[in-house]
Amino acid sequence: MAYIHAAWVQEAVFLEDRFGKQRIQRYLAKMPPSFDEVDQVFPAHFTEIDRIVAFEDGLYLVKWQSLPYSEATWEEPSLVNDDDKIAEFRARERLPSERELAAWRAPTQRPPLESFVELAESPVFKGGHSLRPYQLHGLNWLRKCWYSRRNSILADEMGLGKTIQTISIINNLFERERIPGPFLIVVPLSTISHWRREFEGWTHMNTIVYHGDTVSREILRAREIFHTPSAVVNEGRCSQSAVSAVVAAMGGVPKFHVLITTYEMVLCDTSFLSRFAWRYLCIDEAHRLKNKTCRLTTVMRQFKYDHLLLLSGTPLQNNIEELWTLLNVIDPSTFASLSSFMQDFGDLKDLEQVERLQNLLKPYMLRRMKEDVEKSIAPKEETIVEVELTKLQKQYYRAIYDHNLTFLTQGVKASNIPSLRNIMMQLRKCCNHPFLIKGVEDTVTQGLEADDAFARLINASGKMVLIDKLLPKLKARGHKVLIFSQMVRMLDILEDYMHHRNYVYERIDGGVRGNDRQSAIDRFSRDGSDRFVFLLCTRAGGLGINLTAADTVIIFDSDWNPQNDLQAQARCHRIGQTQMVKIYRLITKNTYEKLMFDRASLKLGLDQAVLTKLNTNKTASSSSSSDLAAADDSDPMRALSKQEVDKLLKYGAYCAFADPANDTEPEAYDEDDIDRILERTQFVPQTQASTAAVDPTSTSTSTTDTSSSAVSSTDANSRSKVASFASADAGMCYHLHYHYYLIDTSEIVLFNSLM
């Protein structure tokens, strides 16, 4: 039965049923005891029609919003009172003509490259949508790749609309080239609803989402994938031979144009999905294919397709070998030998090697950065906050490092003894919060009242002390915050904190299914929403979703792969963001976590050296020294200099452009507090050489109100120095702030600030 039939029933009436009492008990065990409105019991959109799937014996089979196909129900026409949904259903059920069957059956005949003509203006899409200028350039580039029969990688920086550009090329093939499909889009689970929403909002193609449990997929295959061949012959007036040819080529007469699915479904239903001759195959977040021996890469090689497009804002994550894997997927003949590729580019050391690799990539890859093409996006500023370990953290950090089982097992039950098989992971847990280590929370909070236990939860971790001081001020100033962590258990601790502080929040981790994810995103993003914080697991919540309602990101713990953290930041720093985005990266000083961050910076330096300005025609080595001297360094499209590339390869992204002239012992000053961290620094276009220090007086700073300071400075020996740097991937000044904190469990004392 559908939720639309739900109604309030008196308890006495319900208890008349034989199993009524047991049902009430089961319900109360998992749900709050009372509600004021029906939409508090279940989401109101559960009663809204998503799409009509079938019509038989005078009844409609209705799929409801955000519910799987397995919960579709047969309903009377009087209840299905939606003319638009009925019209869409009838359009999908329209049987193909003989000419349309021929288009399905015949291999794609691409026009010669000589006939390619760039589109001077954006096509007008459904709903009056149009492309931005750089997106139109992307569409033309994708069209030329298709004409050239060259698979491609769209590697625009995260947040520039790779989804829309992909939709535009597929719609171009559908309307301009008269190719009905089928088109396959493989995406992460967290973005599947977004992809469908954009396809339906921008095109008139029949788009289906192939995902769900076994029953849902069976309904999909039976009702949404194919027309009945006999109906096509008899009612569609097509010849039996034409229908048979399509069935032989496709497994049936396709009813859909675009099929969106996930990596997991590709692995689960390979035999079904690989039977189609896909006219265009797109893989989103394609860095999932970076391992040449992974199962997904192996399975995707079994698919038949005319053209392959990979989408990745981070095509170069850890090393050059991963980049080769992507190139091997799109052009296995040209990039056949890994050993040869690694011999040429495996150890990038100088500008000449970088430029040779860039020239090799240019035909296959289009890479643009936000600051180069989209001036409407507000700037971002990252502040690296180095936090000291608390006394409790130091004790457990030392015990883990020394394998001191005597200390670690003191007062702990035998079933709750922490494991020391993975020392690095245990050290990372300790840096985040000692309660992540088995047995610590029980030992520390034993016998305490709820308020005292909560105080221990905060004071046990230097990062939590900082969070407890940052969030009230962020809320008071009207900001909305995304908090990312690698560890789901850390999100649990943060969730407990949110409950106690009465902050309204949402949460996404790997255990939240697709429909619930989108609902959480919508609640957080809608106008007037009271949601203040969004807790996200970096891997599960850092891909493809749009959270521009937030303007502040807290990276609670950094990833070994720096691109994952950049993905997380791009959830709010993307098209549609009108506020300056402030990022706070929390690093525990003088620990294994700090070492991780330094090494991750080297990986990011490799990415920026190779991919920055990839598609500009300007190169440092091809220009004379006089030309370079005369060049306008504020030009966002200029190539990196030899010195810049060398620094990126040697020191990494975060250290390459620090100003050595300012690397001196800081001078002491009297007071500073949490407001210094919260300053929204003015983002100033770069007018100096990109390796020169930027005048700190160009930064607009707010006056610190010491009377309302949230940080005690009674015992502080506060010192500061300033060193801004120009980001390797920016044509504008990008300020990096270092703040060092000394934690004394009950208070936070700022003793050094490198801004």
ω before 182 within 30° of 0 (cis)?
Answer: yes
3-state secondary structure labels for all residues of 135-167: HHHHHHHHHHHHHCCCCEEECCCCCCCHHHHHH
pLDDT tens-digit map of 91-126: 888 877 777 777 777 667 788 999 999 999 999 999
- Asked if 755 and 720 touch (Cβ cutoff 8 Å), the reply is yes
pLDDT of residue 625: 35
Residues 290 and 405 in one domain: no
**227 and 328 housed in the same domain:** yes
The count of residues in the chain is: 755
Position 407 confidence tier, pLDDT thresholds 50, 70, 90: low
pLDDT(184) > 60: yes
The C-alpha atoms of residue 418 and residue 421 are separated, in whole angstroms, by 9
What residues make up the domain containing 32? 3-93
In this prediction, residue 405 carries a pLDDT of 67
- 412-428 pLDDT tens trace: 666 666 677 777 888 88
Query: Where residue 318 falls among pLDDT bands split at 50, 70, 90?
Result: low
Q: Which of 71, 93, 115 is the last residue of a domain?
A: 93
Query: How confident is the model at residue 196, as a pLDDT?
Result: 92
Q: What is the spatial distance between Cα 48 and Cα 80, in angstroms, rounded to a whole number?
A: 10
Based on the domain organization, do 115 and 254 belong to the same domain?
A: yes
Token pair, residue 48, equals 């809204």
Model pLDDT, residue 189: 85
If you average pLDDT over residues 78-91, what whole number do you get?
A: 88
Here the CATH number for the domain that contains residue 340 is: 3.40.50.10810
Q: Measure the CA–CA gap between 520 and 511, rounded to whole angstroms.
A: 13
In a domain, 542, yes or no: no
Whether 366 is in a domain gets the answer: no
What's residue 678's pLDDT?
63
Most confident of 130-134, 445-449, 547-551, 740-744: 130-134
Percent of the chain with pLDDT over 90: 22
Q: What mean pLDDT, rounded, does the chain reach?
A: 75
Q: Is the pLDDT of residue 748 over 60?
A: no
**What pLDDT, in 10s, does the model give residues 450-468?**
888 899 899 889 899 989 9
Amino acid at 588: T
DSSP states of 527-575 as a string? TT----EEEEEHHHHSSS---TT--EEEESS--SSHHHHHHHHTTTSST
| Burial of residue 711, with CB atoms counted within 10 A of its CB: 0-12 exposed, 13-18 middle, 19 or more buried | buried
Amino acid 260: pLDDT:
96
Closest to 648 (Cα-Cα) out of 606, 610, 700: 606
Looking at mean pLDDT, say which of 97-106, 142-151, 328-337, 686-695 comes out highest.
142-151
Query: Considering 312, 329, 347, which residue would you say is the last residue of a domain?
Result: 347
How far apart, in whole angstroms, are the C-alpha atoms of residue 252 and residue 440? 60
Closest Cα partner for 707 from 753, 750, 671, 751? Answer: 671
Phi and psi for 500 in degrees, rounded to 5?
Answer: -70, -35
Q: For residue 83, what pLDDT is reported?
A: 87
Output the pLDDT for position 672.
Answer: 52
Same domain for 289 and 144, yes or no, is yes
Say if 597 falls within a structural domain: no
Min mean pLDDT across 325-334, 389-398, 403-412 is at: 403-412
673 in a structural domain: no
pLDDT computed for residue 642 by the predictor? 53
Report the candidate in 379, 370, 367 with the shortest Cα–Cα distance to residue 685.
379
Does some domain include residue 261? yes
- How many whole angstroms from its chain centre is CA 551? 16
Q: Does the structure show a pLDDT above 50 at 485?
A: yes
Whether 689 has a pLDDT exceeding 50, the answer reads no
Whether the per-residue pLDDT at 701 is higher than 70: the answer is no
Residues 187 and 260 in one domain: yes
Which of 73, 93, 113 marks a domain boundary?
93
> Which residue is listed with tokens 């009844």?
59
Predicted pLDDT of residue 607: 58
State the pLDDT confidence band at 606, using cuts at 50, 70 and 90. Answer: low
Candidate ranges 279-293, 342-356, 621-635; pick with highest mean pLDDT = 279-293
Integer-rounded Cα Rg, in Å, for the chain is 29
Who wins on pLDDT, 623 or 56?
A: 56
pLDDT of residue 219: 92
DSSP state of 122: P
Question: How many folded domains does the chain comprise?
Answer: 3
Q: What 3 state SS string does 432-485 have?
A: HCHHHCCCHHHHHHCCCCHHHHHHHHHHCCHHHHHHHHHHHHHHHCCCCEEEEE
Collect all residues with Cβ–Cβ distance below 8 Å to 159 and sequence separation of at least 6.
313, 370, 377, 570, 573, 574, 575, 577
Q: What phi and psi, each to the nearest 5 degrees, are found at residue 56?
A: -145, 140
For β-strands 183-187 and 258-262, DSSP reports them as parallel
Asked if residue 82 and residue 177 are part of one domain, the reply reads no
